[in-house]
Amino acid sequence: MKLWIKTLALVVTIAWSAPSAAWWWNPNPSTYADTRYPVVLVHGMFGFDALIGVDYWYGIAEDLRKNGADIYTTQVPALDSTIARGEALLPQVEAIAAVHGKVNLIGHSHGGPTARYVARVRPDLVASVTSVGSPHKGSAVADLIVESPASGLADSLANALGGLIDLLSGGGYDQNAQASLQSLSAQGSAEFNSFAPAGIPTSACGEGASSANGVRFYSWGGTGVITNVLDPSDALLGTTSLAFGSSKNDGLVGRCSSHFGKIIRDNYFMNHLDEVNQALGLHSLFETDPKAVYKQHANRLKNAGL
């Protein structure tokens, strides 16, 4: 009897640890999001990989993995310039690409320009760059703060918050709110675009080139602000959205500024945090689940051979 139990336990252990042998646990494993190259997620301003047990990409990485994707989450400074964040991302991409050949970068908010930096300096490591709610031509909110007489106080408070986030998430990076806001301003974005112009629309609200140097470019964004009355972050985004006047925005990024490469869609009824399924999955009940948007995009990358 004891031998039978030990044998069964050994079979279960092998089947559980070897996916190729575990077909009978899941006879129909999904390969819908099984891209050729792994998907690497790059967080935005005040971002992290995981904070006190809560993922920045709330439920997204897990859902992609369930559908066959190979996912890596990265961590860069919560607050710093695009180039500094890109330099922090580069060795992580190099390590992943050393195993897989290339990567598909998906960056939210400031993570979009951060990913573009890596594609600019090492296009041989990157199969695609996808930006989600990224301010490629700057953010009116960043402009407002940079030009404010109280910008010094705002920088100090932001650095303190960024430092706390970094400490709790184990990042180990210095924080530079002034450099971060300058990079996200209209002027700072224009300067970065002159360094990395690939995929940026030449018209005010057009579509950019869909590829350059062997790298494919995609983007999507939202134009919702108050999307779920149960989400406390909606009130903050409702306030910041006032900086855009009557222009469509997600609370922090204007619709046209989010355009990069092939535009998948620029008017999801999502605000800036809904785009990464925050806070804690509280998004509009009348719009596509954010997790489904990422899953569909992974399938798009798969079908493109990426």
What Å distances lie between residue 305 and 35, 101, 113, 132, 301, CA to CA?
7, 14, 24, 21, 6
What span, in angstroms and rounded, lies between the C-alpha atoms of 128 and 152?
37
The catalytic residue positions are 109, 250, 272
What span, in angstroms and rounded, lies between the C-alpha atoms of 66 and 59?
11
The token pair that represents 116 in the structure block: 């573009």
The token pair that represents 84 in the structure block: 């500094």
With both helix axes pointing from N to C terminus, report the angle between 82-100 and 111-121 in degrees, rounded to the nearest 10: 60
The contacts of residue 131 (CB under 8 Å, 6+ apart) are 106, 107, 108, 111, 112, 113, 115, 116, 218, 219, 258, 260, 261
The phi-psi region of residue 108 (left if phi > 0; otherwise alpha if psi is between -120 and 50; otherwise beta) is: beta
The DSSP output letter for 153 is H
What span, in angstroms and rounded, lies between the C-alpha atoms of 254 and 257?
5
Query: What's the N-to-C CA distance of the chain in angstroms?
Result: 51
- For the beta carbon of residue 168, count every other beta carbon within 10 angstroms: 12
What span, in angstroms and rounded, lies between the C-alpha atoms of 291 and 128?
19
Closest listed residue to residue 39, CA positions, set 236, 241, 294, 303:
294
Q: Amino acid identity, residue 61?
A: A
